[in-house]
Amino acid sequence: MRRRTLTGGDWSIDLTPGINIALLLVLVFVLGAAPIFQTWLSVTAPKVRKAPFEKKSPTTEFKVNIHIKENGQIVLNEQAVTYEKLDTLLPELLARSPSRLVIVSADSLVPHGKVVEILDLAKQKGAVEVALLRRK
C-alpha cells in the first residue's frame, strides 16, 4: 500500500460564520432575558415640586406615620404599639385624617414581608393613599 501525503494548499479554517452565529445567539439571549427579570411590582418615585402658596383657613392635618424597627417593634405616630393595637387604632386615626394618607417606613434589616403586611393592613382599614418613606 502506498501512503499518500497531501502537500501544499491552504488548510486554514474560516471562523467568520461561527463567530457570527455565536454573537447572534448572545444577542438573542440578552434580549430574551429582559422580560424574565422584570418584576410585576412597579414603583414610581414621587417628583418634588414647590407647593403653591395659598392663604387658607388653618386646618390641622392628622398624619398617620408607621415605622417598623429592626426588632419588629411597630411605632405609630411616635408611640410603640403592637400589631393588634395597630389593627384597632388605624381605622380611628384614618377617620380623623381628611387625606387618609398612611406613611410607612422601616429600618433596613426589616423583612419586606413585614412591610407589605403593614401596607396591606393600612389599605384594608381604609387608607386611600399609602406612601413608603425612605430614610437615610
pLDDT in tens, 87-106: 888 888 888 888 888 888 88
Does the residue 18 lie in any domain?
no
Provide the domain count of the chain. 1
pLDDT in tens, 17-71: 999 999 999 999 888 877 776 655 566 666 666 666 665 544 566 778 888 888 8
Residue 96: inside a domain, yes or no? yes
Q: Closest Cα to residue 66, out of 15, 19, 114?
A: 114
Rounded mean pLDDT of 109-118?
86
79 lies in some domain: yes
Residue 75 lies in a domain: yes
Domain range for 120: 64-133
Contact status, residue 31 vs residue 25, Cβ threshold 8 Å: no
Which runs of E-coded beta strand occur in the chain? 64-68, 74-76, 79-81, 101-106, 129-133
| Position 40 in a domain | no
Check residue 8 and give its pLDDT: 64
pTM of the entire predicted model: 0.54
Separation of alpha carbons 57 and 37, rounded Å? 50
Distance between alpha carbon 53 and the CA centroid of its chain, in Å?
33
The verdict on residue 110 lying in a domain is yes
DSSP letter at 93?
A: H
Q: Is residue 69 part of a domain?
A: yes
Question: Per the domain annotation, does 1 fall within a domain?
Answer: no
One-letter amino acid of 53 = F
CATH number at residue 69: 3.30.420.270
Q: How far apart are CA 131 and CA 105, in angstroms?
A: 9
Would you give the distance in Å from CA 44 to the centre of its chain?
9
Residues 12-20 have a mean pLDDT of: 89
